[in-house]
Amino acid sequence: MLHFGAHYIDGQWIAPQASGARPLIDPTSEEPWATAATGGSAADVDRAVMAARRAFASFSRSSVADRVALIDRIIAAYLRREAHLSQLIAQEVGVPVSFRAQVSGPVGHIKVARDVIASYAFERQLADTIVRREPIGVCALISPWNWPIQTSVIKVIYAVAAGCTMVLKPSDASPASGVALAEVMHEAGVPAGVFNLVIGRGSVVGEALSRHPQVDMVSFTGSTAAGIKVGEAAAQTVKRVCLELGGKSANIVLRDANLQKAAHWNIQRGFSNSGQSCHAPSRMLVHESQVAEVLTHLADEIGRMKLGDPRDPSTTHGPMVHAQQYASVQRHIQIGLDEGAHLVTGGLGRVDGFNRGFFCKPTVFSGVTRDMTLAREEIFGPVLVVMPYQTEDEALEIANDSIFGLGGYVFSEDRKKGYEFACGLRAGRISFNGANTNSHTPMGGYKQSGIGRSMGVFGLEEYLQVKSIYGFEDEAQGLPGI
């Protein structure tokens, strides 16, 4: 049985200070497939942070050309392991190998980061002042289990692009993915101490990283509740915090929209990754006169899903990540039934025909009002609520009636009206008629969905500090970087 028992610190694999191991459970079979160290300690975190601090002195002064060359080596090392990574996350967290975006997507993000720094003006002239953007320092990168490779890659590659050093803490539910990424970085020849990995629980490793006085910035992706704890801990040493947190995104389907297209897309986007996505369109707002028709289209689309072993290329949807997440989704379904929502399809229990594995039934509720738990809490599973509206103003009001503001979606045949609705949504990323997002543009949330942005130029600048140097008006054009 495989064992993931070491941290990667200062260019070496290091045993944790505390001994012990725990099983990693395959969410499809519910059987152990590997073991992992029971977790890092504050002492392990300190060792990793100080390695990153030492490496920062030289890496922060590396040239853009050197960092571009390093990123190209990371791309090459990643591509050599791409097939392995796909199989790994299928076994570790239940992501189907057919869901290519999980593993192929990171390469695109890496290339964008490389191209951004190749043309980015790290120094600019403003009157008699040179405005410099410099690497912020040592970064703590805390990533989730639902996109275990891609989220980690985005954090790591923008830190590298900026000239920062880092300590990555993968989710305790997906430590093997973090180890695999460390192997990529080692193979690419990332200088010792620039990238470090500490595996362990968020309550120990994440807490220690967030509080550490030698950490200059924390980038965290996860639940809003956990993000609040990260922010509180980081505030003790007044460090920068970038948070991508929960979501309860609304898909507003206007009366002139193509209902079949809207329903097809809502299931495809909302139930991909088994609904375990913070951007999932989990509230579908439909005019009251069109609800019945939309429900038919939704049921038809769910009928095309194929649930099964995520290692089977024909599988479209896998299990929940672990027993706790399965139980959480079941609890929310029961709450929906108790509060009087109408069950359209799906419901409690395992998918028919499955006697093991954390497979939830793809579930749709109608008759959901904005005060119901289903409409307010992030479920993080294959559960969609259909909410009726009478007027377009009411639709916008319902969509914005949430503590979250991560994503939003609008379907309409009227582009002008669609744009007006997109502008009115209090969320950080809006898609019109199912348009794809891209890795050049910023991602982040309003309200309790987070602070800061990732990806592209805006993502790079999360890892940079701004400095003004006065008195160089005449000489500026001859200085490096200007």
| Catalytic position from the list 278, 301, 461, 462 | 278
Q: Is 278 a catalytic residue?
A: yes
The type of residue at 19 is S
End-to-end CA distance of the chain: 55
CA neighbor of 463 nearest in space, from 212, 68, 186, 113: 113
Question: What is the bridge-based pairing of β-strands 217-221 and 138-142?
Answer: parallel
Distance of alpha carbon 372 from alpha carbon 338, whole angstroms: 10
Task: List own/partner pairs for 15-21 with CB under 8 A and 24 or more apart.
Answer: 16/40, 16/41, 16/44, 16/199, 16/200, 17/41, 17/43, 17/44
| Catalytic position from the list 92, 244, 378, 461 | 244
Burial of residue 262, with CB atoms counted within 10 A of its CB: 0-12 exposed, 13-18 middle, 19 or more buried? buried
Distance of alpha carbon 363 from alpha carbon 331, whole angstroms: 13
Strand order from edge to edge, sheet including 21-25: 2-4, 32-37, 21-25
Distance of alpha carbon 190 from alpha carbon 62, whole angstroms: 12
Distance of alpha carbon 291 from alpha carbon 311, whole angstroms: 36
Catalytic residue positions?
244, 278
